[in-house]
């Protein structure tokens, strides 16, 4: 390797030239250079507030469920890169993609039989939407081209996903009037265990009934709304949506990009409700946080509908579709997860988060504390001072990335009890500072 840049020089060049997520250019706040990662720890290029290592409370945006530098995932990546890193997917196929698709079909609800491998979560949502619009077009109902969702959601940063993100609190209000106009229901009432509010259920049914003639699909994040506000709701609403979609002939897309692979305590969050969507989006933890890959699964009915159309193919084909390297690591990650007592680990983390975060209820400025599976959230009664909150977490030895009024953690499932307690202390310290 060429000589590495000194940390301060790297930071300066980074600020000058490199966009970061939701960042200004040039950047106003320096990002922390990371040189390596191992287990649940990120190693910094130089100490910050006396810390040269940080316990990662974010799983790199909810993806690195097995932690970093995992021997099993590393071995899968090495094996694959020494064989074939990539080959086009048009007209060619390969074992990593076929086996991954087969595995995803095995572990998701029975009716989901077909897999489209996409290169990011947002693209998998684009593909899901395209599938649904094309399905209705093929069935001679081209007027069914709008989407219905509930407020408070997040589905990605490309165009169609942006149109179903929360139009107000979300990050895309800038584009109101430019994005396709979708149908928004009120946000689902909060609380995983709250039960179904019949008035709200009627509101959902009523909207679906009223707009059915123009709706291609309902799209929601099941049980946990992630980047739209880290809110939990009753799985009962998913049954309401499933029934109404069946009754009024609308497809149901579940976006499990954040909730998939055990995060909420069931392998997929739809499992809390026992329902099957027509289309399912997976991403984030799919490759254990190693490489970018996502998947859109659909039922036979959706695929058959599309193939009956005037254009009988799904017109989508990213250059890096089915990337063998990402597929090989994804397969290893899924097998690693399902081959262990993942539910036990997630439940252990849920207990640790409850114990460590519950006392924050009495802290000044805290509006709510909630935990579900390996997700812990402290919501403040004001917007977080992100710089101050991050500094407080780093001083504690933990990496957190708060947003809006939320300080939260989604730790890797391999986080040990002591590290988890440290993460909880850091969340509370960040809440006090921010």
Angle subtended at Cα 50 by Cα 45 and Cα 54, rounded to the nearest 5 degrees:
60
**Is 119 part of the annotated catalytic residue set?**
no
Selected catalytic residue, list 255, 278, 405, 419:
255
Cα distance between residue 295 and residue 286, in whole Å: 8
Euclidean distance between CA atoms 13 and 40, whole angstroms:
28
Q: How far is the CB of 144 from ligand PLP (least distance, A)?
A: 23
**Which position among 255, 345, 405, 419 is part of the footprint of ligand PLP (CB under 6 A)?**
255
CA separation for the pair 86, 343 (Å, rounded): 34
The least CB distance from residue 426 to ligand PLP, in Å, is 22
Q: CB 337 → ligand PLP: shortest distance, Å? A: 18
32 vs 242: CA distance, rounded Å: 44
Closest CA to 58 of 335, 406, 432: 406
Is 257 an interacting residue with respect to ligand PLP (CB under 6 A)? yes
Residue 125 interacting with ligand PLP (CB under 6 A): yes
User: Of 22, 82, 341, 362, which residue is the catalytic one?
Assistant: 22
- Least Å distance, CB 412 to ligand PLP, is 17
Q: Which is nearer to ligand PLP, 126 or 419 (CB)?
A: 126
Are 425 and 356 in contact by the 8 Å Cβ rule? The answer is yes
Give me the 188-227 binding string for ligand PLP, x by CB under 6 A, dash otherwise.
Answer: ---------------------------------x----xx
Looking at residue 212, the DSSP 8-state letter turns out to be G
| 156 sits near ligand PLP (criterion: CB under 6 A) | yes
Contact flag: residue 55 with ligand PLP (CB under 6 A): no
| Cβ atoms of residues 368 and 391 within 8 Å | no
Taking CB under 6 A as the criterion, the residue among 120, 163, 266, 350 binding ligand PLP is 120
Q: Interacting stretch for ligand PLP, rule CB under 6 A, among 119-127, 171-179, 207-215, 412-420?
A: 119-127
User: Is 299 among the residues that bind ligand PLP (CB under 6 A)?
Assistant: no
DSSP string covering 242-311: HHHHHHHT-EEEEE-TTTTTTTTSSSSGGGGTT---SEEEE-GGGGTTSS--EEEEEEHHHHHHHHTSSS
Task: Put residue 156 in one of left, alpha, beta given phi > 0 → left and psi -120 to 50 → alpha.
Answer: left
Residue 155 in contact with ligand PLP, rule: CB under 6 A: yes
Task: Please say if 248 is a catalytic residue.
Answer: no
Q: Is 277 in the site for ligand PLP (CB under 6 A)?
A: no
**Catalytic residue annotation:** 22, 154, 255, 284
Please report, as ranges, the residues that interact with ligand PLP according to CB under 6 A: 120-122, 125, 154-156, 221, 226-227, 255, 257-258, 283-284, 294
């Amino acid at each position: 390797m060429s000589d590495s840049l000194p940390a301060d020089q790297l930071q300066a060049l980074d600020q000058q030239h490199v966009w970061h997520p939701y960042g200004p250019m040039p950047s106003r706040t320096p990002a922390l250079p990371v040189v390596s990662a191992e287990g649940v720890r990120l190693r910094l290029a130089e100490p910050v507030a006396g810390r040269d290592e940080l316990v990662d409370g974010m799983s790199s945006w909810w993806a690195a469920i097995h932690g970093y530098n995992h021997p099993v995932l590393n071995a899968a990546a090495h094996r694959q890169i020494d064989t074939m890193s990539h080959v086009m997917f048009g007209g060619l196929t390969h074992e990593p993609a076929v086996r991954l698709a087969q595995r995803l079909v095995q572990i998701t609800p029975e009716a989901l039989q077909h897999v489209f491998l996409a290169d990011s979560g947002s693209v998998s949502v684009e593909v899901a939407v395209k599938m649904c619009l094309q399905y209705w077009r093929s069935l001679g109902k081209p007027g069914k081209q709008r989407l219905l969702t509930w407020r408070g959601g997040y589905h990605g940063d490309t165009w169609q996903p942006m149109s179903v993100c929360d139009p107000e609190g979300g990050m895309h209000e800038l584009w109101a009037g430019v994005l396709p106009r979708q149908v928004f229901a009120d946000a689902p009432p909060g609380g995983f265990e709250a039960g179904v509010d019949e008035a709200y259920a009627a509101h959902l049914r009523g909207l679906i009934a009223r707009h059915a003639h123009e709706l291609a699909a309902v799209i929601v994040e099941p049980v946990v709304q992630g980047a739209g506000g880290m809110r939990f709701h009753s799985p009962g609403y998913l049954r309401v949506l499933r029934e109404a979609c069946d009754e009024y002939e609308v497809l149901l897309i579940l976006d499990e990009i954040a909730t998939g692979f055990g995060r909420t305590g069931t392998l997929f969050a739809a499992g809390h409700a026992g329902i099957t969507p027509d289309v399912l989006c997976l991403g984030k933890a799919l490759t254990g946080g190693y490489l970018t890959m996502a998947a859109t699964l659909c039922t036979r009915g959706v695929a058959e509908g599309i193939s009956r159309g005037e254009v009988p193919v799904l017109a989508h084909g990213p250059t890096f579709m089915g990337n063998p390297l990402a597929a090989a690591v994804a397969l290893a990650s899924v097998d690693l997860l399902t081959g262990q007592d993942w539910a036990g680990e997630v439940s252990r983390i849920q207990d640790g988060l409850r114990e460590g975060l519950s006392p924050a209820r009495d802290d000044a400025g805290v509006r709510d504390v909630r935990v579900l599976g390996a997700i812990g959230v402290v919501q403040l009664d004001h917007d977080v001072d992100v710089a101050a909150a991050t500094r407080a977490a780093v001083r504690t030895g933990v990496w957190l990335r708060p947003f809006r009024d939320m300080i939260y953690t989604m730790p890797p499932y391999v986080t040990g009890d002591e590290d988890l307690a440290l993460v909880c202390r850091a969340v509370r310290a960040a809440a006090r500072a921010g």
